[in-house]
Amino acid sequence: MNEQFQSRSIDKGNDLLPIGTVLKIDGVEPFIMIYGRKQNQVDGDGKMWDYVGCPYPQGHLSTNTNLFFQHEDIAEVVFKGFETEGELAFRKELDRLLATKDV
């Protein structure tokens, strides 16, 4: 039971995480902070990524420090970003648009 209180991990769930969420991806140092969702990598193959993040605590330094990744790549969530009614409504609309491929 003591381990429960020592853990800093937050359940990542199945929904997109909010901007500002700080997380760990296996094999990547340091922590990563989400600053964009459903992003296409400009110089990539047009693939849509669930997230784009930057090193935490440094923040976005340049396009060279962008990290594009999928929800399933997240190993651990250590801080969940700010969620408002507007954030929840935005995610719902984004889900709707993605279902109809209007993004």
Chain mean pLDDT for the chain:
87
**Statement: residue 1 has pLDDT above 60:** no
Per-residue pLDDT at 7: 58
What sections of the chain are H helices per DSSP? Answer: 2-6, 85-100
pLDDT by residue (tens digit) across 6-56?
556 788 988 899 999 999 999 998 999 999 999 887 776 778 899 999 999
User: What token pair was written down for 77?
Assistant: 């969530």
Sheet containing strand 67-69, strands side by side: 67-69, 48-56, 31-40, 22-25, 74-79
